[in-house]
Amino acid sequence: MEEWVGLKWHDYVTRQAMGEFPEYAVHLKDEARTLGVLFRAMGGDPALSLVTAEPRHFQIRRRFLQKLAGTHRKFELAWRDEESLRLPDRLALFPSKKINRELYLWLAALASLGEIHHHSWLQGNQAMVQQLLARWPGLEPVYQRLVKHTLQWRPDPDSLPANEGKREQAIRQALIHPGSVEELPDALTDPWPVILWLYPVLARGKVKGQVLGDDNTSSQPGGLAKKRKRRRAERVDAFDKDQGLMLFRLENLFSWSEFIPVDRAGDDSEEEDADAVADDMDMISVSQDRREASSAIKFDLDLPSEEHDDLRLGPGIHLPEWDWRRQAFREKFCCLQPMLSKEAVPSPLPEHLKRPAQTLRRQFSALKPLRQWERRQLEGEELDLDACLERAVEFQRGSGELHQKLFRQCKQNQRDLACLILADVSLSTDTYINNHQRVIDIARDGLQLLSEALTASRDPFALFAFSSRRRDHIRFHHLKGFDEPYNDVSRGRIQALEPGYYTRMGAAIRQSIKLLQARPESQKILLLLTDGKPNDLDLYEGRYGVEDTRMAVQEAHKAGLIPFCVTIDEEANEYLPYIFGSRNFVVIKDPVQLPGQLPKLYMNLTR
């Protein structure tokens, strides 16, 4: 009973101290699509991803109730860097859903103009507000409404000490009349956060009080709300778990923080409520204790020994990679290794695929080349009796000029196209769908059904799969070449596919381009199957991987290819339009439907 009363009292005091309006809250995950469209339509960098902003710590003057509740120490504020636009996860500052939503729209519009640097935070924000209102005058009423409500939310300058009051008055003047304030008066505390402005990039470092690196993105399937937040952390000396019976730090007895020694080198399991606990902690202490590294389990994905690995086809192929920061290629930066499975054995089509495969073969057989007679030809295999009869009639009538097209010729009506299917078999394909079927199993079924359909249509096709472990080892699994028949050998290679490592898409796409360019067909299709965003252990993460993949897709377009992406990643709408274009990808909402949808997508793509 005492605990229940304490929780209720804590909730009540916190709610009163926050001064928010929970009933009018607006969440970023609900507005993400609209904000993304607005940001890009107003000239924002299309490569930036929209993610949640982590709280910033402020030392502001707080009222007694706020101190009692422990609130107003950190705030989620808008900022952007070269990889992402970060906005608060939730807005409930104003007593109107419309105004809270307009704050999201205003911040996205302001961020479309660029970044804010620390040395020009005050002048930079005022200049950006002036520039935005000059460029889009229709935003003036929105800005005035937001300023009116923001001034009501901010502290009264008369209630603050002299210097702090002057600084608050200057901030209010800068909001009402942008460009009128050159600098803020000095004060002992931080200024109250300006929610209508952008803030500088948070520093990434390893010293006390800074934010440890985390790019706030996740390549796992999921929505915006599942993305990670960066945490404020400090480096401390290693905690010795053998120090007698004392399993906690005495200084934490007088704080709300809890000390939990977790060895991340040997234990990478997921704890319940881990995110909630991390959100409640002001500072996460990180220590480095590797004394028992030799006996700990190593979770890094090491490559298997050569005797247990797949067969390597050749010494490897060196390929370039696009560095978007330098706006230049890194020549021979990646090594792609063609592989052939040792474990694969010739296998028939699995029993559960035989019936849908029979249906697909019947449908796609209508696309195979047909022999057709072309009439009224100057030369050919046989006389065209109808043309000869018409010429005889014209001769009897005394027509001046008689046509000479008296033959017919048999030609084959052939689809002049080739397709290369490239499958992502990274570690994420080991994820289970509906707790009974893995993504890799669904992908294998999809590859086999599509292959059965293409065999019936007689379209030349090739099958490859890829995964990577850093730039020097990109595995390119050979399943079927263009000149190989699709038979039990190819089916066995597909069935032997297992989840690999990471997803370095750019190199795999570039090698596929080379293979397709060697084909004589006039129409060449590159079909990519994936379940997530480009990523790898090294620098191939975040925007770097996206930009390299986008450049590889542009190279495919320049080579006359048709690149098309099929994915089951629910977050794909955030980055695939930038990589492939708005019409060159499709998201399969239900992954279980992938095997049946692939042949239909191919038919629509080549019709």
Tens digit of pLDDT for each residue in 324-367? 989 999 999 999 999 999 888 999 999 999 999 999 988 888 77
What's the chain's average pLDDT? 82
Residue 91 CA: distances (Å) to CA of 2, 22, 484, 576: 33, 9, 58, 28
Confidence of residue 196 (pLDDT cuts 50, 70, 90): very high
Residue with the two structure tokens 């304490």: 6
Q: Which amino acid is at 40?
A: R
Query: Rounded CA gap, 84 and 215, in Å?
Result: 9
Confidence of residue 204 (pLDDT cuts 50, 70, 90): low
Q: 507 with 536: CB under 8 angstroms?
A: no
Q: 83 with 48: CB under 8 angstroms?
A: yes
Determine the length of the chain: 607
Q: What is the pLDDT of residue 372?
A: 64
Spell 151-167 as b/e; 16+ CB within 10 A means b: eeebbebeebeeebbeb
Q: What is the pLDDT of residue 241?
A: 47
Q: Which amino acid is at 43?
A: G
- What pTM value is reported for the model? 0.72
Which domains occur in the chain, in start order? 2-176 (no CATH), 335-364+420-606 (3.40.50.410), 370-413 (no CATH)
Confidence of residue 440 (pLDDT cuts 50, 70, 90): very high
Query: Rounded CA gap, 424 and 562, in Å?
Result: 18
Q: What is the pLDDT of residue 209?
A: 39
**Could you report the per-residue pLDDT of 248-267, keeping only the tens digit for each?**
444 444 444 445 555 444 44
H helical segments located in 208-273 = none
- What is the Cα Rg of the chain in Å? 32
Q: What is the pLDDT of residue 212?
A: 37
Spell 46-78 as b/e; 16+ CB within 10 A means b: ebbbbbbbbbbebeebbeeebeebebbeebbbb
Q: Which 3 state secondary structure label does DSSP give 147?
A: helix
Q: Which 3 state secondary structure label does DSSP give 577?
A: helix
Asked whether residue 444 carries a pLDDT value surpassing 50, the answer given is: yes
Supply 274's token pair: 């881990």
Asked whether residue 162 carries a pLDDT value surpassing 70, the answer given is: yes
Question: What mean pLDDT do residues 16-27 have?
Answer: 84
Q: Is 110 exposed, middle or buried (0-12, 13-18, 19+ CB in 10 A)?
A: buried
Supply 143's token pair: 């800005």
Residue with the two structure tokens 């239900």: 590
Supply 125's token pair: 């924000």
Query: Rounded CA gap, 463 and 408, in Å?
Result: 40
Supply 490's token pair: 């190819």
pLDDT: which is higher, 270 or 522:
522
Confidence of residue 305 (pLDDT cuts 50, 70, 90): low
Lowest mean pLDDT segment, chosen from 29-38, 280-289, 393-402, 492-501:
280-289
Question: What mean pLDDT do residues 468-481 have?
Answer: 94
